[in-house]
Structure 1
């Protein structure tokens, strides 16, 4: 071999020449059985959180509820403080009543065996308050009962009662009870003992006057447990015992 031929022959760079079956593999890829690079699996992109339009509405609603509750709480505090101040200034007391006399005008059986009763009751209504007036409104009632059976009833008059005032009221009561024969017999037997228990109930709708201010109407409810000696007609009954209790209902 001549020198010229030797100069044309170059050593072959085996390492630099790629294998015919070899391919460039990107980072993170794998190679299949056929030697073909397989691209890496795509990473699932996390969805960006979407701000819902309902969140601002919910937040606004919560703020409104909180403001409303706060205002109601403050209003209750103001009302309680005002009521406490009025109580300390006026020192309200319930009116009370006493039964002075009870007269049986009529008590008899009718032809239909109903029991007819007519009483005259004198009571004293007392307003113990120094700074509070009382308006007795329409609809006041006074009734007499025997063993939870109403014998007769009458209306209380409408009037205004001033501070620390006592007012005497004469109230006529009338009533009629069906099947009165049994009741009349029980009353006659009780009369022989000289102690007849009666209940006198008071239902008085009143309005309170504080200074020049007339407040909302309330109800004064009272019950007097009486023990009398007789129920004879046209007779002034002797009241042997009297126990009265009163309460106010809004």
Structure 2
């Protein structure tokens, strides 16, 4: 066998070795991903359960023909229903809307980790100073206040991650909608707190992840 033949044979052996090494690496990665997927499917993470417990209304009134001033403090509780999965709340904003129009600035909640079956409670203030609203919303608000009940939606917009053992998932979008029926015309349904009125609500929220 010539030296040229030996060199060619060595090159073939190296290429075959590299192919086997690459195939083994790809197989290992696929196996790891399959195991993660299998564990994920077995555990089946359940989205958190949100409840709007109460709302304290300091201001919710038209400050000019087409602007709305809103000051609220709400109490939100969220429960992690999972027995083996933790939840990271990386960024969570809360704001109020009326007829799908945002009427307060978003309030950023502190980032937190929620363990198995744990409950977390937040009590943010929501502010909206002279927010411009569409004319049809002015008519709707006047009508609602005349009848005595106004529906305000407390919305949560955030990013969460799931934790299974040492594995932490990528970020998922959290969208929460909490309806709050406020009886402005019947203050006996609330607790007077000086110029503010606190309403006990205990409303389940719609949660989408």
**Structure 2 length-normalised TM:** 0.69
How many angstroms apart in 2 are the aligned matches of 1:190 and 1:162?
41
Distance in structure 1 (CA, Å) of the matches to 2:180 and 2:63: 26
1:230 corresponds to 2:184: yes
Residue 102 of structure 2 is matched in structure 1 by 150
| C-alpha distance 199-80 of structure 1, shift in aligned 2 (>3 A) | farther
Residues 165 and 115 (structure 1), Cα distance of their counterparts in 2 relative to 1, 3 Å cut: same
Unaligned runs of 5+ in 2: 1-25, 188-194
Q: Deviations along 1:152-193, whole A, 9 cap, x unmatched?
A: 132222111111001111111112312578745642431232
RMSD between aligned residues: 3.1
The answer for unaligned runs of 5 or more in structure 1 is 1-70
- Deviation string for 1:92-140 (max 9, x for gaps)? 11111000001112234447963221110101011011111111113x1
Q: Is the 8 A contact 2:86 2:113 kept in 1?
A: yes
Residue 96, structure 1, aligned to residue 49, structure 2: yes
Q: Distance in 2 between matches of 1:192 and 1:178?
A: 21
Q: Give the structure with the higher percent helix.
A: 2
1:175 aligns with 2:128: yes
Distance 1:130 1:199 in 2: 30
The equivalent of 1:122 in structure 2 is 75
In structure 2, what is the equivalent of residue 86 of structure 1? Answer: 40
**In structure 2, distance between residues paired with 1:110 and 1:226:** 22
SS in 2 for 1:216: coil
- In the TM superposition, residue 202 of structure 1 has moved relative to its aligned partner by 1.4
Q: TM-score, normalised by structure 1?
A: 0.59
Q: Which residue of 1 aligns with 2:191?
A: none
Q: Is the 8 A contact 1:230 1:238 kept in 2?
A: no
Aligned length: 174
Aligned to 2:173: 219
Contact kept? 1:107, 1:115, Cα under 8 Å:
yes
Mapped to 2, the partners of 1:210 and 1:200 lie a distance apart of 30
Q: Map of 1:8-27 to 2, 5 A cutoff?
A: none
Report what 1:208 is aligned to.
162
Report if the CA contact (8 A) 2:66-2:138 is conserved: no
Change (3 A) 1:211 1:80: closer
Do the aligned partners of 2:90 and 2:159 also contact (CA within 8 Å) in 1? yes
What secondary structure is seen at the aligned counterpart in 1 of 2:198? strand
Q: Which has the higher strand share?
A: 2
Q: Does 1:105 align with 2:93?
A: no
* 8 Å CA contact retained: 2:80, 2:118: yes
Q: Which whole-Å deviations, capped at 9, do the CAs of 1:44-70 have from their partners, x for residues lacking one?
A: xxxxxxxxxxxxxxxxxxxxxxxxxxx
